[in-house]
């Protein structure tokens, strides 16, 4: 991935990829947040992931804005599903 991700309750919540902020947010507000200048769908794998957004570095100029965005991710976290853990390979 090449970035830094912060997990909350074993679920991806907030991260940094290059100079962009990554947020996992409520799917119901996803489209609204994409209307904010500097926000775009998280498309790290080549296809957009609903509920995940990238926010450009210059789109967040004040601490209050950053707190709001991170708050959206933290608010959604208890409702988010965690990824299935891969089974560990047994040694022969």
- Angle 56-43-51 from CA coordinates, rounded to 5°: 85
Q: What is the 3-state secondary structure (H, E, C) of 8-57?
A: ECCEEEEEEECCEEEEECCHHHHHHHHCCCCEEECCCCCCCCCCEEEECH
Phi, psi angles (nearest 5°) of residue 41: -60, 145
User: Which residue matches tokens 């709001």?
Assistant: 68
In a domain, 87, yes or no: no
Residue 81 above 90 pLDDT? no
Q: Mind listing the pLDDT tens digit for each residue in 10-67?
A: 999 999 988 899 999 999 999 999 999 999 999 877 888 889 999 999 899 999 999 9
36 close to 58: Cβ distance less than 8 angstroms? no
Q: What CATH number has the domain bearing residue 61?
A: 3.90.1150.30
Domain count, the chain: 1
**pLDDT, position 77:** 95
Note the pLDDT of residue 91: 66
84 within a domain of the structure (yes/no): no
pLDDT at res. 44: 73
Q: Which domain range does residue 64 map to? A: 4-79
Q: Is the pTM above the cut of 0.85? A: no
Which residues does 87 contact at the CB level (< 8 Å), separation at least 6?
Answer: none
């Amino acid at each position: 991935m090449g970035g830094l991700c912060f997990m909350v309750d074993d679920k991806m919540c907030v991260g940094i990829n290059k100079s962009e902020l990554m947020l996992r947010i409520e799917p119901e507000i996803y489209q609204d947040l994409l209307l904010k200048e500097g926000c775009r769908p998280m498309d790290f794998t080549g296809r957009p992931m609903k509920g995940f957004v990238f926010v450009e570095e210059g789109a967040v100029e004040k601490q209050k804005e950053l707190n709001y965005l991170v708050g959206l991710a933290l608010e959604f976290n208890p409702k988010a599903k965690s990824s299935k853990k891969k089974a560990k390979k047994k040694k022969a």
